[in-house]
Amino acid sequence: MKYTLFHGAKKNVGDYLIRNRAKKLLFEYTDLEEADLLELEMVRKDISEEELLRVQETDAVIIAGGPAYASGNFASIYPSLNDVLDEGVPVYPLGPGWKGTDEDSYEFTSESLELLERIHERIEFSGVRDLPTKRVLEKHGIANVKLVGCPAWYDLESLGKPFEKPSTIDSIAISTAVPRSRYYRKQFRYLLRRVSEEFPDADLYCSFHRGISYDDHTPFIRSLHLRRFKYEADKRGYTVINPAYEPEKLGQYRDIDLHIGYRVHGHISFLAIRHPSYLFQVDGRGTGVSESLSAPSDIATFDRGSYQGPVEEILDNINDDLNDGFDSFDHVANAIDKTHDEMERLIKTLP
C-alpha cells in the first residue's frame, strides 16, 4: 500500500502536531512503511503536474485534520482535490473541522458541497474533528461521517490511561492569544499578571505556538504584538517556549502540571497526555473541541463584554477542580478513548 498525506504544516506547531500524529496513527493501524507515505503541504496550493503524477501512484489521499471546513469554501482550502479525484484516487478526510462561531448560519459554497459529495460517494465514511462539524456536514446532506476527533488528540502511549491529577499546581504553561484584537491583547496581558499572582510559587511558562518573529508566515504588525507579549511574559518571570517550526519542543509539556490558554493545540497537547487544560474558546474550533471532549471547565471568550471576566472564571474553575481532585477530567479521558476507536475504524477502511 501507498498513501499520500495532505497537511498544512508550515510554521504553527499545531499543524505539525496534526501531521505527526496522523502519521503515527497510520503506521500503528496499517502495514504502511515510511517510504510508502508521500507527504505534501497542500493547503491553499494548486498541485503541480509532477506532484499529481506521484499522487496517482498511491492508493489514497488522506487529509490530516485542521480547519479544512473553515469558511465554507472547502474547495479553495484544498484546490487540488478535484484533480486528485479526476485521476481516480479516493480522498479520506481524517478529522478536519470548521472554524465559525454560528453553526446554524454556516453554509458551504456550491463548489465546495459538490466536492464534498464527490469525496463521500467513494468512501465508506469520513472522519470529523468535532460534533459541530458533524452537524454542519449532515445539515448539508453528507451523512456518512463519524466523530473521530483530530489526529492530534491521540498520544498513543497515553490511550486508556487516567488523567494525571496534581495535588498541588507547581507548573503552568500559558499559550498565547492571537493578537487580532485589542480585547484579546488586553485579556492576555491580564491573564499573565493574574496567573503570576494566583500561583506565585509555580514555575510559569509562556508558549508561542505560531512563533514570535516576523517572517513569511507572520505579518509584521502581528509580530510586534507577539514581541509585546514576550516582553510582558519575561517581566513577570515566565520561561518562554517557542515551538514554531519545532514540534519536538512540545515534549516540554509532559513535565508541566497544566495548561491555560487560547491555542487549541496547546489545549489538545495537554489533554492528549492526560494533563489538565483550560481553554479560552475564541471560535468554533474551541467550542467544538470542548463539547466533543466533555471539557466543562473551558469557557467562551467571544461576545463577552469584560476582558477580565473570562480570566477570573478560568481561575475559579482551576481552583474548584483542584479542590475536587480534577475528577471532571475523567470524562475527557473517556471521550478521547471513545473517539479513538472511531479513528482506528476509519483508518482500517483505507484501501
pLDDT tens sequence across 294-305: 888 899 887 677
Q: Identify the pLDDT of residue 325.
A: 96
**What is the rounded end-to-end Cα distance, in angstroms, of the chain?**
8
Residues 278 and 301 in one domain: yes
Which CATH number fits the domain that encloses residue 249?
3.40.50.2000
Q: What is the mean pLDDT of the chain?
A: 94
- Please tell me the number of Cα atoms within 13 Å of 219 on its side-chain side: 6
Residue 161 lies in a domain: no
Please indicate, yes or no, whether residues 138 and 251 belong to a single structural domain of this protein.
no
Q: Alpha-carbon torsion 178, 14, 279, 282, what sign? A: positive
The alpha carbon dihedral of 229, 234, 239, 242 has a sign of positive
Domain assignment present for residue 330? The answer is: no
pLDDT of residue 98: 86
Question: Do 175 and 251 reside in the same domain of the chain?
Answer: yes
> Could you say which DSSP state residue 218 is in?
B
- Whether residue 102 has pLDDT greater than 90: no
Is residue 164 domain-resident?
no
Q: What is the pLDDT of residue 66?
A: 79
CA distance 165 to 322: 8
Residue 50 backbone phi and psi in degrees, to 5: -65, -45
C-alpha atoms less than 13 angstroms from C-alpha of 312 in its C-beta half-sphere = 5
Whether residues 28 and 130 fall in one domain: yes
Residues 288 and 182 in one domain: yes
Place 73 in a pLDDT band, splitting at 50, 70 and 90.
confident
Number of domains in the chain: 2
Look up cell 510559587; give the residue: 201
Q: What pLDDT score was predicted for residue 71?
A: 74
Residue 286 has pLDDT above 80, yes or no: yes
- Residue 287 inside a domain? The answer is yes
Note whether 65 and 22 are within 8 A (CB).
yes
Q: Is residue 163 a part of any domain in this protein?
A: no
Determine contact, residues 260/148, Cβ cutoff 8 Å.
no
Give the separation between CA 279 and CA 290, rounded to whole angstroms: 8
pLDDT reported for residue 85: 97
H/E stretch holding 137: helix 131-139
Query: Residue 122's pLDDT is what?
Result: 97
Query: Range of 35's domain?
Result: 3-155+336-347
| CA gap 334, 321 in Å, rounded | 18
Same domain, 19 and 57: yes
In-domain check, residue 231? yes
Same domain, 135 and 175: no
Task: Kindly state whether residues 121 and 27 are assigned to the same domain.
Answer: yes
Q: Does one domain contain both 241 and 132?
A: no
pLDDT tens-digit readout, 219-257? 999 999 999 999 999 999 999 999 999 999 999 999 999
What is the model's pLDDT at position 249?
A: 96
Answer yes or no: do 74 and 196 share one domain: no
Quick one: pLDDT band at residue 340, thresholds 50, 70, 90?
Answer: very high
Q: Are residues 36 and 64 in the same domain?
A: yes
pTM: 0.95
What is the average per-residue pLDDT within 174-195? 95
Give the distance from CA 210 to its chain's centroid.
13
Query: What's the pLDDT score for residue 330?
Result: 93
What pLDDT does residue 72 have?
Answer: 82
Residue type, 14: G
CA distances to 27, 88, 92, 148 from 348, rounded to whole Å, are: 11, 20, 11, 13
Per-residue pLDDT averaged across 269-298, rounded? Answer: 93
**Cell numbers representing residue 86 in the block:** 479526476
Q: How far is C-alpha 252 from the geometric centre of its chain's CA atoms? A: 18
Residues 43 and 145 in one domain: yes
Asked if the structure places residue 280 within a domain, the reply is: yes
Residue 83 has pLDDT above 80, yes or no: yes
Model confidence band, residue 283 (pLDDT cutoffs 50, 70, 90) = confident
CATH number at residue 45: 3.40.50
| Residue 160, domain member (yes or no) | no
Band of the pLDDT at 45, cuts 50, 70, 90? Answer: very high
